Amino acid sequence: MNQEFLFHIIYSFHVSEKSHGCRGVNNVLVLKVRKNSTKREIKLSVFKMFKLKVKKVNVLNVKGKRKRKGKNIVIKKNWKKAYVFLHKNQNLDFLNN
């Protein structure tokens, strides 16, 4: 698999109350990823970018919300969310490192 391709799979971290709670209790990262990426590609990209050992990956397709701007209805894009479960001794902490 192309090394450069692996760095384009992960877009950003998904920040919410649920993702913050998952990170503390279950040692889980919640990421926004490409729509056509697979679990195997996500696992490899997390290993290459952050040097973390991944236990398993769960993937969720999120439908875009419908918003109203004046009399027009705008539909946001669909996106994919990945729950990345890490081993117990693995941790990704930006504040302390």
Confidence grade of residue 83 (pLDDT, cut at 50, 70, 90): very high
Q: What global pTM score does this model have?
A: 0.85
- Separation of alpha carbons 82 and 62, rounded Å: 10
The answer to whether residue 90 scores a pLDDT higher than 90 is: no
Indicate the CATH number for domain 3-86. Answer: 3.30.70.330
Backbone angles phi, psi at 37, to 5 degrees: -80, 150
CB of 60 closer than 8 Å to CB of 83: yes
Backbone angles phi, psi at 76, to 5 degrees: -75, 160
The answer to whether residue 95 scores a pLDDT higher than 50 is: no
- Least Cα distance to 32 among 84, 67, 95 occurs for 84
- For the chain, domain boundaries: 3-86
Confidence grade of residue 79 (pLDDT, cut at 50, 70, 90): very high
The answer to whether residue 93 scores a pLDDT higher than 70 is: no
